[in-house]
Amino acid sequence: MEENKTVVTNENFDWNAFENDLGVYSQPKEEIAAAYDKTLSNVAVGEVVEGTVMSIGKREVVVNIGYKSEGVIPVSEFRYNPELAVGEKVEVYVESAEDKNGQLSLSHKKARQLKSWDRVNEALANDEIIKGYIKCRTKGGMIVDVFGIEAFLPGSQIDVKPIRDYDVYVDKTMEFKVVKINQEFRNVVVSHKALIEAELEAQKQIIMSKLEKGQILEGTVKNITSYGVFIDLGGVDGLIHITDLSWGRVNHPEEIVQLDQKLKVVILDFDEAKKRIALGLKQLTPHPWEALDPDLKVGDKVKGKVVVMADYGAFVEIAPGVEGLIHVSEMSWSQHLRSAQEFMKVGDEVEAVILTLDRAERKMSLGIKQLTTDPWADIEQKYPVGTRCVAKVRNFTNFGVFVEIEEGIDGLVHISDLSWTKKVKHPGEFTQIGADLEVVVLEIDKENRRLSLGHKQLEENPWNEFEGQFSIDSIHEGTVTELVDKGAIVSLTDSIEGFCPMKHLVKEDGTTAKVGEKLPFKVLEFSKATKRITLSHSRTFEDAKRAEYAAEKAEKKAAADANKSVVKKINASVEKTTLGDIAGLAELKAQMAAKEEEEK
């Protein structure tokens, strides 16, 4: 087996002398080591020094600070600076001259952090433009690495344009200005928008100076709000108000335009001091009323779409920008107050008749009830006087009941025409809203579209029979049903009532009759015209007393008359009598006179 031979580059080198330091070096070894150390930088742990990037790998960046070995730093510490190149000078923090692997241990992140607060304050003071690395999103904006400090970038400060997607900025390095520092909490706010605002302001001044009313420009839709659209005119923004987007109704600007869409717009007005520009889109097209069919006239039928609803009516667009109002009163022949929402809703396609047309004022009124025949046109033939029908109770008043015979045909039943016999104080006592009520047509007023109706006329007038039944001085049993101011209502039968004045309610014992008492009543007055029966309870016993007293008085009078006749006869024969007879007659006369005086 062959022996392995050691190959030595310099066969004449005296290894024994080298190992035992037997004069190999021309100078002492210590002096040579000291001279070598002088060629290296003095590295002190904990210091921040400047180094040179020697190489950049996928994971590590090698930095030379002039020490006997080079330091290695994770590439993640340089994420804020993607343009880092070999040969570039960077600041590093010396963590240790040698780690466990004998490697120089450096940190770029710590070097930045040690000086970061001073540098941030310096950048704010000097209005300096600095670089920062956008690490991630947060509520309301982004987190930016600036000199190793986490600074806040508000969403409104990213760009002059509204940002729709924040995520595209993550992991990007951008230039910023420090705009605010809270020294107490060490909070830093930066802005990218501030860098470009100055340039934009100068650009705006140039653009504003060239603007004229009526000028047509091209712009890009920058932002859409509920009240209008912001247009970028190339450095300056203008607003198209929602009312200037279209001649027609617009619920939201998104119906007309889209983000980033290029549009031609006209300048309506501008305020150079406030940098406000009012733009118009609809003004680039003629007004729809000018293009309206010149032959269109009152009475013509049109079709359209309901664009707006209100309680009082509906606005119908018959062409973009051309609207007509259908008032609720023109939606139905019915005269009852109703809401327009009962007839139609937004989006409905409707046909209507033109009622008025004012091209100068650009106004039009429409109607849909005119598409059907007016129910009053042939009212005399349809419901002649005497016609019986069933109507629907629609409304009450103190004087009667309003009913609807059919859609558009209303009538009034006066309160006096509800019942022949019952005293109705309010229609609510007799019927209710929504109920069916049988009626008869009494009178037609076609001109004023009114019908007089009756309910009691469906039956014969019972007062013709009552006249004989309740004759004056006849006595009937009745029940006191209600006490009123001047008397009481007395029920004589199920269908007829009478009135008893208060003084005639007094009973024989001197008390007044109460509600619910059943008593005899005498008829004092009967009126068929006014349908009134006046009664009295008191008369039922007072008249009997009077009759008894009259009979007694008549009897006494007859007796007195008889006595007078006897006396007269005696006086006639007195001359023929004797003196004794005269004395006897005188005594008899005195007795009769005393008796007569006693009777009186």
When pLDDT is cut at 50, 70 and 90, the band that residue 3 belongs to is very low
Query: Is 275 strand, coil or helix?
Result: coil
Q: Report the distance separating Cα 371 and Cα 364, nearest Å.
A: 17
Q: Right CATH number for 301-371 from 3.40.50.300, 3.40.50.11540, 3.40.50.1000, 2.40.50.140?
A: 2.40.50.140
Look at 302-306, 374-378, 420-424, 492-496 and tell me which has the smallest mean pLDDT: 420-424
- Count H helices and E strands in the chain, helices first: 8, 30
288 pLDDT above the threshold of 90: no
Percent of the chain having pLDDT more than 90?
A: 9
When pLDDT is cut at 50, 70 and 90, the band that residue 365 belongs to is very high
Can you identify the CATH homologous superfamily of domain 29-112? Nucleic acid-binding proteins (2.40.50.140)
**The predicted structure's pLDDT at residue 377:** 80
Largest alpha-carbon pair distance within the chain? 229
User: Which residues are registered as beta bridge partners of 4?
Assistant: none
DSSP 4: P
The CATH class that applies to domain 463-536 reads mainly beta
Q: Report the distance separating Cα 123 and Cα 149, nearest Å.
A: 13
User: 421 CB contacts (<8 Å, ≥6 apart)?
Assistant: 462, 495, 496, 497, 531
128 pLDDT above the threshold of 70: yes
- Separation in Å, CA 447 to CA 374, 388, 450: 13, 22, 8
When pLDDT is cut at 50, 70 and 90, the band that residue 36 belongs to is very low
pLDDT digits (tens, 9 = 90+) for 308-358: 898 889 999 988 888 999 998 888 887 766 788 888 899 899 999 999 999
Task: Please measure the distance between the N-terminal and C-terminal CA atoms of the chain and give it in whole angstroms.
Answer: 194
pLDDT digits (tens, 9 = 90+) for 80-109: 777 888 888 888 878 777 766 667 878 777
Q: Give the residue-averaged pLDDT of 373-402.
A: 84
Is residue 415 within 8 A of residue 353, CB to CB? The reply is no
Question: In the numeric block, which tokens belong to residue 474?
Answer: 């006849």
Q: Give the residue-averaged pLDDT of 14-34.
A: 56
CATH number for the region 127-196 comes to: 2.40.50.140
User: 227 CB contacts (<8 Å, ≥6 apart)?
Assistant: 241, 242
Q: Report the distance separating Cα 410 and Cα 336, nearest Å.
A: 9
When pLDDT is cut at 50, 70 and 90, the band that residue 1 belongs to is very low
**The predicted structure's pLDDT at residue 572:** 64
Say yes or no: do domains 29-112 and 379-458 share a fold.
yes
Closest alpha carbon to 473 in 546, 551, 555 = 546
* CATH 2.40.340.10 matches 379-458: no
Percent of the chain having pLDDT more than 70?
A: 81
Q: Report the distance separating Cα 237 and Cα 232, nearest Å.
A: 5
Q: CB burial class (10 A; 0-12, 13-18, 19+) of residue 144? A: buried
E strand intervals along 71-140: 71-74, 89-96, 104-107, 129-138
**The predicted structure's pLDDT at residue 566:** 64
Closest alpha carbon to 470 in 507, 501, 497 = 497
The whole-model pTM stands at 0.43
**The predicted structure's pLDDT at residue 454:** 85
Q: What are phi and psi of 494, to 5 degrees?
A: -65, -20
pLDDT digits (tens, 9 = 90+) for 135-146: 889 888 899 988
The residue assigned the tokens 């006396």 is 567
Q: Report the distance separating Cα 600 and Cα 593, nearest Å.
A: 11
pLDDT digits (tens, 9 = 90+) for 488-547: 988 887 778 889 998 888 888 888 888 888 898 988 888 777 778 899 888 888 877 777
**The predicted structure's pLDDT at residue 230:** 92
Domain boundary assignment for the chain = 29-112, 127-196, 211-284, 301-371, 379-458, 463-536, 543-599
Q: Give the residue-averaged pLDDT of 65-74.
A: 81
* CATH 3.30.530.20 matches 211-284: no
pLDDT digits (tens, 9 = 90+) for 212-224: 888 888 889 988 9
